[in-house]
Amino acid sequence: MASLSVELGWVYVVKGEPIFGPCVRQETLAISGSTATLATAVTAAEAAQEGGGSDFIVRLATDTDCYIAIGTTPDPTATAQTSATNARRFLSAGSYLPLSITVGQKVAVHT
């Protein structure tokens, strides 16, 4: 079954290069032709588990072509940004994408 791995954590910058730090939470979203969304938004407690990283990020990895969005009510079919969602981004099969994410935001995926 097609899926999107969602890892929340920190990134460090070492000699100008981003290095992924500890994972705070990982979820796998099934991609089945309809929109799937993280069950729980990023919490203040998760964001406080810094451990020395410089930025809180979400690392997305997929095994199938899909569209993703981040927001308080993310919509991976949206082609324009609103106050509740970023515009969708295409993520190709076999790739990963690190993105900034803040407290109260979720990730959604759609094929």
Strand-pairing partners, residue 34, are none
State the residue for tokens 């994408």: 97
pTM of the entire structure? 0.86
Question: Considering its fold, how many domains does the chain have in total?
Answer: 1
Residues 62 and 43: their CA atoms lie apart, in Å, by 24
pLDDT of res. 106: 94
Residues 79 and 98: their CA atoms lie apart, in Å, by 20
> pLDDT tens digit string along 17-62?
888 888 889 999 999 888 999 888 888 788 777 655 557 889 999 9
Residue-number span of the structural domain to which 80 is assigned:
3-110
